[in-house]
Structure 1
């Protein structure tokens, strides 16, 4: 990694640093982004290095927040997101900040954030994300029926496929299942699967569970067959 892989916005923020330091920070931020999904613990370690090098850069604080969030350090993540927001004035992190409150066992705070004016300043994707967080908070509070209602929206009803469509439909299906509406849940898991071009959900597995389909690992089957064959040979 050279650090040149960093996104243009992040590169712009690093211009305030001496060149060598900026390059070091950029390399660490690139590694955070690269490892966040496949190895969040390692991504977290890289984020801590970037944070030590340049804690006054908003992109660094944001990356540190997402890395902490990925490993379940919600209090730490929230602190970093708040710092990034103070630096930029942006509301983009509002939904994930609310989800950190959920992670810390404070769903009522997440619900309060869902009603704040900042939500109206979010773009469409951010508003959908906030709706997902609010529905999750409702479920955390034992309000399963309210979670279903929270997810009912024009975005859910739309036939247009957006980056968030699969996750929204999946969450709705899951909420329906939680209140015993199994037939509707099956329908919406199917709709989630149709929209899930990148495999971001396990909608196909959930559908299979509802239909009583049990998957068997082919490798396990082969191993069992070999064992059986070996046992037969020894008896002969």
Structure 2
């Protein structure tokens, strides 16, 4: 697959670069450049990112970082069975537990929420850092909702991290999930408060909390650009009509002047 010349492969994480040092230099560079493309495209064009991940996988399937990237690309395109297989392979190679929450979410994607809940109770969860534990809580709450256990999902999200006023990278998503669960339980007033709290913590636009708040408040957004275009078209039509009328009047005056000149010449 085509890769822009400006993508050198040096853009990847130093830890990943270290893993690729086990490969011959030219091969390592090719793999690195494909991994960069995966990272650049996974949000805006996941299908393209998936294609680059498959190239990297063919080149270096025994590198844990490559299997992890392939897993995330498959996950982004909702190929959950494939993603889970890649995450399991990466975990076997690296020995880490960081992928545990996303592996559990793959189980949800495959229609097996009970397995995701079982994973939420495994010892691996205690080995996760705080961000990983919050992610696991979000997955477990989602699994509860998948099973129709809405009240249990709300309770699952209630935690010291949710109650904390401190803002972390995961705070907005946690508050948003709680607000969404409350709304699903018809607890609208509480839901609105938590959507507002999610928006307050969402500095990077990770959620659509602002849209949800507007929807709850009955606010409708009008595309001002489209309206201005229509108004401009109307003005242009009016101006065109006025100009046409003026031209007709001028032409009639010119004809009268020409007629008078002709009479004068004949006399």
Tell me which interval the TM-score lies in, with the shorter structure as reference length.
over 0.9
Does the alignment pair 1:167 with 2:173? Answer: yes
**CA distance in 1: counterparts of 2:58 and 2:207, whole angstroms:** 35
Task: State the Cα distance separating 1:220 from its structure 2 match.
Answer: 2.1
Aligned to 2:9: 3
Which residue does the alignment assign to 2:88? 82
Deviation string, structure 1 residues 106-129 (Cα, Å, up to 9, x no partner): 111111111111111100000000
1:65-123 deviation line (CA, Å, top 9, x unaligned): 00011111111100000000010111100000011111111111111111111111100
Structure 1 segments, 4+ long, off by >3 Å, are 226-236
Residue 41 of structure 1 is matched in structure 2 by 47
Structure 2 residue 109 is matched with structure 1 residue 103: yes
**Which whole-Å CA distance do the structure 2 matches of 1:93 and 1:8 have between them?**
19
Q: Distance in 1 between matches of 2:204 and 2:77?
A: 23
SS of the counterpart of 1:225?
A: helix
Shift of 1:228: 4.3
Alignment gaps of 5+ in structure 1 = none
Give the number of aligned pairs: 236
Structure 1 residue 32: deviation in Å?
A: 0.6
Q: 2:193 aligns with which of 176, 187, 190?
A: 187
Q: Does 1:144 align with 2:180?
A: no
2:56 maps to which residue? Answer: 50
Q: Does 1:30 align with 2:36?
A: yes
Q: CA RMSD in A?
A: 1.3
Q: Specify which of 198, 202, 210 is matched with residue 196 of structure 1.
A: 202
Give 1:222 deviation, angstroms: 2.1
Paired with 1:134 and 1:30, the residues of 2 have a C-alpha distance of: 31
TM-score by length of 2: 0.85
Paired residue for 2:128?
A: 122
Match of 1:91 among 94, 97, 103: 97
TM-score when normalising by structure 1? 0.96
**Shift of residue 232, structure 1, vs aligned partner:** 5.8
Q: CA deviation at 1:234?
A: 7.8
Aligned equivalents of 1:133, 1:153: Cα separation in 2 = 14
Q: Does 1:155 align with 2:145?
A: no
Give how far 1:233 is off: 6.5
Measured after TM superposition, the shift of residue 229 of structure 1 is 4.3
Partner of 2:225: 219
User: Which structure carries more relative contact order (alpha carbon 8 Å, separation 6+)?
Assistant: 1
Mapped partners of 2:47, 2:30: distance in 1: 20
Q: More deviation in 118-127 or 34-43?
A: 34-43
Name 1:65's counterpart in structure 2: 71
In structure 2, runs of 5+ residues without a counterpart are 1-6, 243-267
Q: Which has the larger radius of gyration?
A: 2
